[in-house]
Amino acid sequence: DAGITQSPRHKVTETGTPVTLRCHQTENHRYMYWYRQDPGHGLRLIHYSYGVKDTDKGEVSDGYSVSRSKTEDFLLTLESATSSQTSVYFCALGAGELFFGEGSRLTVL
Amino acid sequence: KNEVEQSPQNLTAQEGEFITINCSYSVGISALHWLQQHPGGGIVSLFMLSSGKKKHGRLIATINIQEKHSSLHITASHPRDSAVYICAVVEGAQKLVFGQGTRLTINP
């Protein structure tokens, strides 16, 4: 199994607060992804990275930013969380076989 | 943008039955993934296909590139196969478009 860790696994926050989710890998994969999973929508791509400091937007990137300053870490930031960003967030990596993190459940009150 | 449709959305069967889950997509792709998500959330990659057929244990995945269609089959189904099965297609630079998943329940 690929070493991929998400933190925090669960977070409850209030509208307007900043939130950062971290994805850490030990496999030296070039490609890393952030997805959100919502009932009725399946998994949707927020942002992805194809190398250090190389990132691009996905289909639901509004309200989110990312950073990748080193290969092993891909951070997802909600600058000012809203209730519509309540979701389960998955990090994934790989460009052939895929590996997913365990998910981070975020609740914005 | 690719439209990925899975059918059925929900499937309940008895232990031992042969299961088929279908995935169709609208635009040509470079590869297709089948994923499994158990209750509690973890997502596991089952197969990646670009042509033909792959088999792993009781699971078989096929893809027909011309017809833009893939199927996932489970032989001799077991209650531990109960999960959500997700089809995802690869577009462009390793970007995935996901189907909404098929919820499979296998009763003993």
A27-66 confidence digits (pLDDT tens): 899 999 999 999 888 899 999 999 999 999 998 999 999 9
Residue contact A48–B98, C-beta within 8 A: no
Q: Write the DSSP assignment of A40-69 as a string of letters.
A: TTEEEEEEEEEETTEEEE-TT-TTEEEEEE
Q: Give the closest of B48, B96, B101 to A96, CB-based.
A: B48
Structure tokens at B52: 């033909």
| Interface membership of B36 toward A (CB under 8 Å) | no
Whole-angstrom distance, CA of residue B28 vs CA of residue B31: 9
Residue contact A40–B95, C-beta within 8 A: no
The answer to whether B19 and A73 are in contact (CB under 8 A) is no
Residue contact A90–B48, C-beta within 8 A: no
Helix, coil or strand: residue A107 = strand
pLDDT digit of tens for each residue in chain B (108 aa)?
A: 788 999 999 999 999 999 999 999 998 888 999 999 998 778 999 999 999 999 999 999 999 999 999 999 999 999 999 999 999 998 876 678 899 999 999 999
